[in-house]
Structure 1
Amino acid sequence: MNYPKTLPETHKQLLDKIITTLKKDQRILGIGASGSYASDAMDKYSDLDLVIAVNPADFDDIMTERFTIINSIEGKIAAFTGEHVGEPRLVIALYAPHAIHVDYKFVSLPDAATRVDDTKVLWEKDQLLTDTFKTKKHQYPCPEPQWIEDRFWIWVHYAATKIARGEYFEALEFLSFLRNVALSPLALQQAGLTPSGVRKIETRLPEFSKELELTAAKPEKESLIIATNKCIELYLELRENEQIEINIEAQEMCVTYLKQETQA
């Protein structure tokens, strides 16, 4: 098998065990790898992001037995399902002795075509996974500028209420949401890059990252006010590059509300 050059030896050893085990199950029709494996950008901290394509007739049984299957791979020490990221088909596991994180996404074979990034086939029966991938191009979810504009000023209002009420940790979490859902994806998309939230933003957009640092606050009123205003400033700069319908009334009201309700 032609593994990517950046695949660490520790990951390769575990991947060999995983493939050897899974391909013995006649219900499994293919195994793919996405993420940093597919882009040949792995390091010792990388996860193994695996897609396990299953015969549709056997999918329910596999879902019932998936922990038994994963437990049969030597080294597994912990695992749980991915409801917290909205993906119940996902099992997240950790393997000894090198503390390697593995994501197993179990899908019915036809559903493997729907994917957010490139996926390399590691093993398959009769070209089934390769042929499935050919039916649809991978597509990363992109931010919709109008969708963000329609929500941004209500988001600002929400942040203002949390600061004004003294719910500082709640406000901190919300500023993180703005960075991950609006600011970073817009900046990355405008730069022609995959809009994957704040992931590796420091190296992908270093100048923007410096500005983004100013949106990170302490759980203190004044720090949160400064950071929220920086979020607004960055959003307005990004919005200049988009052709959208601007809700100036909402903008003016919510910016004024932030100023009035959070002033000392």
Structure 2
Amino acid sequence: MQHEKPDAQWVEDNFWKWLSHAVTLTYNLDKKQPSDAADVTAFISFISDLILRPMAETHAARDQLTLIEKVNQHLYENATQDCFLESCAQCATIYLQLREENRLTINYSAQDQALNYLQDIWREQFSAVNS
């Protein structure tokens, strides 16, 4: 089923906020905050299904569509912090591959902040596990 492709500039203006929000929900799982695994799964699924999938369908990007399916499958099979962080990283990678830079005003500052935030939480998560 094909989904309507959202406006590319609107996606660019919001994608890094959504990614940071998904990372925050994941981080808060460990901090006993009100978010739970279902919230994280739903939010990452929103990014992959309603944002990335239509972009990939428009580009006929079969490799990215396969990756999106793997992200969703991984989310539902392994509802853990590690899985959620991996899924966020995969969504960012897929988005960067699909993004049409030549027609967008790219917010590199938001992109860098979101990716650095993901890396920081990832490092914190794995240093806690390895301690």
Q: TM-score range by the shorter chain?
A: 0.7 to 0.9
Cα RMSD after superposing both structures: 2.2
Matches within 5 A, 1:67-146: 141-146=4-9
- From the superposition, tell whether residues 172 and 178 of structure 1 become closer, same or farther in structure 2 (CA, over 3 Å): same
Secondary structure at 1:215 match in 2: helix
Which residues of structure 1 form unaligned runs of 5+?
A: 1-35, 37-139, 192-204
Structure number with higher strand proportion: 1
The Cα offsets for residues 63-94 of structure 1, whole Å up to 9 and x where unpaired, read as xxxxxxxxxxxxxxxxxxxxxxxxxxxxxxxx
Instruction: Name which of 91, 94, 101 aligns with 1:234.
Output: 94
CA–CA separation in structure 1 for the residues paired with 2:4 and 2:98? 19
TM-score by length of 2: 0.76
- 1:151 aligns with 14
Instruction: Name which of 191, 205, 213 aligns with 2:69.
Output: 213
Structure number with higher helix proportion: 2
Offset at residue 238 of structure 1 (A): 0.1
Offset at residue 148 of structure 1 (A): 0.3
Offset at residue 141 of structure 1 (A): 4.6
Instruction: Name which of 183, 188, 205 aligns with 2:57.
Output: 188
Instruction: Name which of 159, 165, 176 aligns with 2:45.
Output: 176
| Larger gyration radius, structure 1 or structure 2 | 1
Which residues of structure 2 form unaligned runs of 5+?
A: 30-35, 126-131
CA–CA separation in structure 2 for the residues paired with 1:151 and 1:223? 23
- 1:245 aligns with 105
Tell me how many residue pairs correspond in the alignment: 113
**8 Å contact from structure 1 (residues 154, 254) kept in 2:** yes
Higher RCO (C-alpha under 8 Å, 6+ residues apart): 2
The alignment-based identity, stated in percent, is 27
